[in-house]
A and B are shown apart, each in its own frame.
Chain A
Amino acid sequence: MPETDQYYVERCLDGHPDDFRYLVRSYQSVLLAHLAGKLGNKDKAEEAAQESFVRAYFGLDRVKKPESFFSWLLGIADRVAKEHHRREQLRRQREAIRSFSEEAPSPELSQDYALESAIGDLPEAYRQVILLRYYGGHSCNQIAAKLDMPLGTVTKTLSRAYAMLRESLQQHERSEVYEV
Chain B
Amino acid sequence: MNCAEYKELLVAYIEGLLDETEKRSVAQHLRDCAVCRAELKETSNLCSRLVNNGKNLAQTNLEDVVLERIIREQNVRLKTASKIGASLKIRRIIMKSRITRFAAAAAIIVATVFGLHLFNPFRATLTFADVIEPILKARTVVLDFVVGSEETGPVMHDIVVGSRIRRTISNMDTIMVIDLDKGKMLTLDPPSKGAAYVDIQGPLREGTRNLIEFVRNAVIRVKDRPDIPVQELGQREIDGRKAIGFLVRGHNEQITIWADSRKATPIRIEMLLGQTLYIIKNIKFDVPVDETLVSMEPPAGYTLSDKQFDMTQFTEQDFITVLRLWAEHLLGGSFPQSLTVGDLMSLTPQMGEKIGQLNISDEEKTQLGMAMGRGFVFFQQLDPTGVTWHYAGSGVKLGEADKAIFWYQPKGSQTYRVIYGDLSVKDVAPGDLPK
Contact = CB atoms under 8 A, between A and B. Distances in A.
B181 interface: no
A103 B45 CA distance: 35
A39 interface: no
B387 A165 contact: no
Given A50-B69, A112-B56, A135-B57, A55 B386 contact: yes
Contacts of A33: 53-54, 57
12 contacts: A14-B251, A15-B228, A17-B249, A50-B62, A86-B394, A140-B12, A140-B17, A156-B8, A158-B11, A159-B11, A162-B43, A169-B46
B410 to A, nearest CB: 13
B62 A28 contact: yes
Contacts of B15: 139-140, 155, 158
* Range of interface residues on B (Cβ < 8 Å): 35 or more
Nearest to A76: B387
A174 interface: no
A46 B60 contact: yes
A8 interface: no
Contacts of B337: 90
Contact of A28 (B17, B63, B73): B63
Nearest to A141: B17
Interface string A98-138: 00000000000001100110000000000000100111010
Nearest to B51: A134
Nearest to B66: A53
Contacts of A86: 394
A146 interface: no
A62 B251 contact: no
B62 A58 contact: no
A162 B386 CA distance: 36
Contacts, number: 130
B352 interface: no
A140 B11 CA distance: 10
A2 interface: no
B411 to A, nearest CB: 10
A54 B66 CA distance: 7
A59 B385 contact: yes
Interface of A: 12-15, 17-18, 20-21, 24-25, 28-29, 32-33, 36, 46, 49-50, 53-62, 76, 79, 82, 86, 90, 111-112, 115-116, 130, 133-135, 137, 139-140, 151, 155-156, 158-159, 162, 165-166, 169
Interface of B: 7-8, 10-12, 15, 17, 42-43, 46-47, 49-54, 56-58, 60-63, 65-67, 69-70, 73, 228-229, 249-252, 274, 337, 383, 385-388, 390, 394, 435
Contact of B53 (A76, A134, A137): A134
Contacts of B394: 86
B103 to A, nearest CB: 16
B408 to A, nearest CB: 12
A166 B62 CA distance: 30
Chain B interface helix/strand/loop/mixed: helix
Contacts of A111: 53, 56
Given A61-B252, A165-B46, A55 B54 contact: no
A32 B60 contact: yes
A17 B11 contact: no
A59 B53 contact: no
Contacts of A130: 50
A55 B57 contact: no
Given A20-B66, A24-B66, A116-B53, A54 B73 contact: yes
Nearest to B253: A15
A54 B62 contact: no
A158 B13 CA distance: 12
A21 B56 CA distance: 20
Contacts of A135: 53-54, 57-58
B251 A61 contact: yes
Given A115-B49, A162-B11, 6 more contacts: A17-B70, A28-B62, A32-B57, A58-B252, A135-B58, A159-B8
Nearest to B388: A62
B62 A20 contact: no
Contacts of A49: 62
Contacts of A12: 251
A141 B86 CA distance: 58
